[in-house]
Amino acid sequence: MVEVALAIAVGGAILRGLAVVGAMFRTALNWKRFVRFKLGWVECLTLLEPFLLLACAWRYLAQTPPAPSALAAWAGALLVLAGWALIVWTYLSWPSIYAGHAVLEDHELITSGAYGKVRHPVYLACVAIWAGLALGSWSLGTLLVTALYVVPAYHLYARSEEEMMLEAFGDEYRRYCQRVPMWLPHTAS
């Protein structure tokens, strides 16, 4: 059963890495549709992330270290599945989502679905998948990459995106930020 959990964690991480690389190509092919496109040092910093995720997951497959405890493997698998559930919900909330920071000519601010709970659901899903891979594979290296690169890089990335969204949507985006938390949903009051 541990092997099944590990397959879910590693397979889910590989699938996400490939999906992001695909989204990067889709964005590059459609660049003419954007009226604003932001590519500063923060955006460049995160370009490496899906390739690192693929490398960490592939490394696990290539070396096959001793299996972690069943609890760690299944906790990791559940985190990866939760990350994927959030990604699917995000795509259902905004089907034309793309990779990077940009604004389309007819861009509307999405504030419902996953975006009604947190402002950056895809980035939150990314962190969940990284954490799930680290826990599921019991990899200190993957945990360190997650804590020292992925989390800080995506926090900076989200802040950079929010600057662009404020420029594009002004007070509408400010009100949205007041209502919807950046990372973790509010608990019921």
pLDDT digits (tens, 9 = 90+) for 65-90: 566 788 999 999 999 999 999 999 99
Separation CA 156–CA 164 (nearest Å): 13
**pLDDT tens-digit series, residues 118-136:** 999 999 999 999 999 999 9
Mean pLDDT of the chain: 90
- Classified as helix, coil or strand, 38 is strand
Contact between 180 and 115 under an 8 Å Cβ cutoff? The reply is yes
**Per-residue pLDDT at 187:** 59
Task: Tell me the domains of the chain and their CATH numbers.
Answer: 2-179 (1.20.120.1630)
CA 89 centroid distance within chain: 13
**Per-residue pLDDT at 8:** 93
Asked whether the predicted pLDDT for residue 54 surpasses 50, the reply is: yes
Rounded to a whole number of angstroms, the distance between the first and last alpha carbons of the chain is 39
Position with higher pLDDT, 143 vs 62: 143
The structure tokens listed for 105 are 């000519």
pTM value?
Answer: 0.92
Contact between 64 and 70 under an 8 Å Cβ cutoff? The reply is no
